[in-house]
Amino acid sequence: MSLDDFSVSRRALVAGGSTIAALSLIGAPDAEAAGAAAGSATGDDLLWYRQPAKLWTEALPVGNGRIGAMVFGGVSEERLQLNEDTLWAGGPYNPVNPQAKAALPEVRKLIFEGRYDEAQALAKDKVMAVPLRQMSYQTMGDMLLSFPGLGEPEAGSYRRELDIDAARATTRFRAGGVDYTRTVVASPAEQVIAVHLTASKRGAIGFDLKLASPQKQHSVQALGGGELLLAGTNNEGFGIPGALKFQTRTRVVASGGRVAAANDFLTVRGADEVTILIAMATSYRSYADVGGDPEAATKAQIAAAARLPFRTIAEKVAQDHRAIFRRVSIDLGRTAEADKSADERIAQSESANDPALAALYFKYGRYLLITSSRPGSQPANLQGIWNESVNPPWGSKYTININTQMNYWPAEPTAMPEMVEPLIAMVRDIAQTGARTARDMYGARGWVCHHNTDLWRATCPIDGPQFGLWPMGGAWLCLHLWDRYDYGRDAQYLASVYPILKGACEFFLDTLVKDPETGWMVTNPSLSPENNHGHGAGSLCAGPTMDMQIIRALFTATASAAGVLKQDTRFVTELEAMRGRLVPNRIGAQGQLMEWKDDWDAGVKDLHHRHVSHLFGLFPDAQINPDDTPDLAAAVRKSLEIRGDKATGWATAWRINLWARLRDGNHAHSILRFLLGSERTYPNMFDAHPPFQIDGNFGGASGITEMLMQSVGTGIHLLPALPDAWPSGSIRGLRARGACMVDLSWKGGALAQARIVSMIGGRHEIRCGEVRRTIDFAPGKARVLAGPDLRTA
Ligand code: FUC
């Protein structure tokens, strides 16, 4: 690639909104090489199996961000479990408790007096949201195909796979002397799921097609023209009536044979080849508007898709997916284990040497974000978009005291910034609904969102004060808005989100209160998610460490944003003054980082609690790090040792990132092995909390990135936590802050070569081990550094 190419991409970048164009140019050499192999994905991009899925956590996910399917790969009975990302329970609602504002001063006072149980009882009574729970994400239902007369597959002929490079699920088998293939894709361009059935013998395809749904109010009806329609109204939730209409429209397009309609199912007999198109929509337009027309939407989607042959739809899906997926490539080494099926590899991964499984997990994490979060869709929820229940665990919503944030950890460093757009759009919404909550619940300016939100952008505290009365969820999400700028450097975008950052700060300027004992400014009421501090039954407290860290990071990001945009100097002075009055990070009696304002850590109920909230300062933030704050970093290490390595899926993944930030690659790797084992990974490679929760997949992908490259401020740290288990390898296409791209390779446990480009130029400190080099980058001009001593070429 010539220098000119880079300056073109820089112009695109600076013009705003074109980060993607710039990124794809940067990725071009790889993309070309990969493009040559298009359609012939290597086994390294496959999850494959010798038997159909029996359980949902064995089925394979496809998705286009908005709609998705879990493909079971059955032989005589095939099931596609279907989702549409706006099909949630309930309708628009405002959960502010009208008694909250009057009760809060008393709750605050009780907490300052150490009367935590009384504070909790009062909060439970008067402060929490009405209703106490938020609405849940729901399944649409299933498309069921049954193939009368199709016998057992011939021995050894069955195989199903998910090609995460082509974004395609395929089932193949031979039965009765005929080879059958069924391929499923979810198309972002056509907005349909398309299923293609072929057979090696003419007229061999015959099946009944049904639609089934656990939704209470629905009907299924065969229409003319090979269509079957599932239509209904969504369920109520905790007293909030269902307000959405939904539709799933399927159309069968057959070559040869006959398609007939019974009352509520279709039959296909004697066909040579069949494509089934599935369109899904609801009437959701926004958290306040349910006036959409799912009938018109699904009709238009089916009509447009039906004009294209399946081959074209699938090629477009692959092309579109690869444009993002192939920006990054990874090689951590390969052993014979990689030739086994995915379920075998996962089952053996804690004892086998299978570095390629970690690489596959990394790539699968990227696949899952591309397929569950795209511009225009809802953000990836606790299960991405894949959920088979009308009553899923934790409502399959947005838990924003770690889980939703973790979903997006890999997005910027692994070059998928457009996948963050739905999250940014959601934050724009909760900044509106959260302004109502700030005003009516706290009498404060700005906006607030507690520990969960849903499709309707509810922002009040839910579930119980010990979980929900935590005013920090929205503030934490704001840091993703800042990161989007810091990685891409699009000032126009930054200007569009600046009022949101400012509003989040204003809420804290209005609600931080002086701790009568210490004089520090603290949050109250709050909690350290969701940890019981041992002083009473609950977790309510004032000024927990995580809150202070998040506010510090929020104020810093907002001040930086104001600086970039050259505005609000007085406001920045106010932020800086308040930042200096927050409780600092402190070391407790055990040498640990104190989780609370008081040194309560030794007396907690659960020493191994899954949340490691106070370690936020080390990761994802970097206000604590081994260089600038070595004592605090050592205290984090102590806290991690006390907490232990094994936790729920996401909590295990967080620990990997933290150990990587402490630059202990072998420790990070040993935890990664646990994450990849069958206790924390289902056969379909979904993360097991348990139950399935997708955050661990994304947190694990982020952890692998953090082991290989860390981007903090203007520093780029190469191989900061390389484990002995990956002596040689490479990763290409990573992004670092300041619009940088990083490719690196290593051999014998040492850096072989790094190639770094800053699209906008600037000074960066490149580091490998103890070697540091300060380099002034010219915009778009790649610098190549060789060997562990970073020799410049
Ligand atoms: C938080 C965690 C739980 C679970 C839930 C969805 O409340 O403490 O472990 O992940 O979110």
Over the stretch 540-555, which tens digit does the pLDDT of each residue have? Answer: 999 999 999 999 999 9
The predicted structure's pLDDT at residue 17: 33
Q: How many CB atoms lie within 10 A of CB 219?
A: 11
Q: How many whole angstroms separate alpha carbon 294 and alpha carbon 280?
A: 8
Please identify which residue in the block is written with the tokens 């055990």.
Answer: 590
What is the best residue among 643, 693, 697 to mutate for testing ligand 1's pocket, by most ligand atoms within 8 Å of CB? 693
Residue 100 confidence (pLDDT)? 98
Question: Alpha-carbon distance 560 to 133, whole Å?
Answer: 36
Q: Of ligand 1's atoms, which has the minimum distance to the CA of residue 467?
A: 7
Residue 206's pLDDT is 98
CA of 609 to the centre of ligand 1 (A): 11
Closest ligand 1 atom to the C-alpha of 401?
1
Q: Which run of H or of E encompasses 521?
A: strand 521-522
Q: Ligand 1 centroid to 124 CA: how many Å?
A: 20
Of the candidates 558, 560, 621, the residue with the CA atom closest to the CA atom of residue 585 = 621
CA angle, residues 138, 143, 149, in degrees to nearest 5: 150
How many angstroms is it from 691 CA to the middle of ligand 1?
11
What values do phi and psi take at 15, rounded to 5?
Answer: -60, -20
Which residue has its alpha carbon closest to ligand 1 atom 11? 399
Distance 544 CA to ligand 1 centre (A): 19
Q: How far is Cα 546 from Cα 615, in angstroms, rounded to an integer?
A: 7
Alpha-carbon distance 149 to 750, whole Å?
A: 59
Question: To test the ligand 1 pocket, which listed residue (137, 381, 382, 394) has its Cβ within 8 A of the most ligand atoms?
Answer: 394
CA 393 to ligand 1 centroid distance, Å: 10
Strand order in the sheet with 715-718: 709-712, 715-718, 762-768, 771-777
Which atom, in ligand 1's list, is nearest to the CA of 650?
Answer: 10
Q: Which atom of ligand 1 is nearest to the CA of 394?
A: 6
Closest residue to atom 1 of ligand 1, CA basis = 399
User: Rounded to whole angstroms, how far apart are CA atoms 72 and 50?
Assistant: 12
* 714 CA from centroid of ligand 1 (Å): 33
Q: How many CB atoms lie within 10 A of CB 8?
A: 15
Instruction: Report CA torsion sign: 461, 463, 465, 469.
Output: negative
The tokens describing 34, both together, are 């990969």
Q: Which of 383, 530, 654, 687 best tests ligand 1's pocket when mutated (most atoms within 8 Å of CB)? A: 530
Give the whole-angstrom CA distance, residue 738 versus residue 728.
28
Interval between CA 349 and ligand 1 midpoint (Å): 26
Q: Classify burial at 26, counting beta carbons within 10 Å of its beta carbon; exposed 0-12, middle 13-18, buried 19 or more.
A: buried
What is the Å distance from ligand 1's center to 785 Cα? Answer: 43
Q: How far apart are CA 70 and CA 74, in angstroms?
A: 12
Q: Are 341 and 49 in contact (CB under 8 A)?
A: yes
| Ligand 1 center to 636 CA (angstroms) | 22
Q: Which residues of 498-532 are buried (b: 16+ CB within 10 A; e: fewer)?
A: bebbbbbbbbbbebbbebeeeebbbbbbbbbbbbb
Q: How far apart are CA 399 and CA 473, in angstroms?
A: 8
Q: What atom of ligand 1 comes closest to residue 382's alpha carbon?
A: 6
Q: Which residues pair with 543 in a beta bridge?
A: none
Give the contacts of 380 (CB within 8 A, at least 6 positions apart): 368, 369, 372, 373, 404, 407, 408, 422, 694, 698
Angstrom CA distances, 787 to 528, 597, 749, stand at 44, 45, 11
pLDDT < 50 stretches in the chain = 1-41
Q: Which atom of ligand 1 is nearest to the CA of 648?
A: 9
Positive or negative: CA dihedral 652, 654, 658, 660: positive
**Ligand 1 atom nearest to 530, measured from its CA:** 8
CB atoms within 10 A of CB 541: 28
Atom of ligand 1 nearest to the CA of 695: 10
Contact 247, 103 (CB under 8 A): no
pLDDT for the residue 43: 72
Ligand 1 mutation pick, 382, 399, 608, max ligand atoms within 8 A of CB? 399
Closest of 469, 489, 591, 478 to residue 530, by C-alpha? 469
Whole-number Å distance between alpha carbons of 390 and 136: 8
The single-letter DSSP state of residue 166 is T
What confidence score (pLDDT) does residue 10 get? 30
The pair of structure tokens assigned to 426 is 């959601």
- Distance from residue 463's CA to the centre of ligand 1 (Å): 12
230-258 pLDDT, tens per residue? 999 999 999 999 999 999 999 999 999 99
Pocket of ligand 1 (CB under 6 A): 382, 394, 399, 403, 530, 610, 648, 650, 689, 693
The answer to whether residues 308 and 232 touch, using CB atoms and an 8 Å cutoff, is no
- Please list the residues that pair with 610 across neighbouring strands: none
- From CA 113, how far away is CA 525, in angstroms rounded? 12
Q: Name, in order, each residue with C-beta under 8 angstroms of 558's C-beta and a sequence gap of 6 or more.
A: 478, 482, 498, 501, 502, 504, 505, 572, 575
Token pair 């409502």: residue: 395
**135 alpha carbon – ligand 1 mean position (Å):** 16
Considering only the C-alpha atoms of the chain, give the largest distance between any 2 of them, rounded to a whole number of Å: 83
Taking the complete model, does pTM exceed 0.85, yes or no? yes
Phi first, then psi: give them for residue 198, nearest 5 degrees. Answer: -130, 160
> In 3-state terms, what secondary structure has residue 432?
helix
- Whether residue 498 contacts residue 575, with contact meaning beta carbons closer than 8 Å, is answered with no
Q: Which atom of ligand 1 is nearest to the CA of 529?
A: 8
Ligand 1 atom closest to Cα of residue 651: 9
Q: Which helix (H) or strand (E) holds 558?
A: helix 545-565
Q: Which residue has the tokens 């790797």?
A: 669
Strands (DSSP E) found in 297-451: 329-331, 398-399
117 Cα: distance to centroid of ligand 1 (angstroms): 22
User: To which residue do tokens 């496809």 refer?
Assistant: 62
Query: DSSP secondary structure string, 208-270?
Result: EEEEE---SEEEEEEETTTEEEEEEEPPPBTTB----EEEEEEEEEEESSEEEE-SS-EEEEE
Among the listed residues 499, 498, 516, the one whose alpha carbon sits nearest the alpha carbon of residue 445: 499
Residue 393 CA, closest ligand 1 atom number: 6
| Cα(649) to centroid(ligand 1), Å | 10
Give distance in angstroms: CA of 176 to centre of ligand 1. Answer: 49
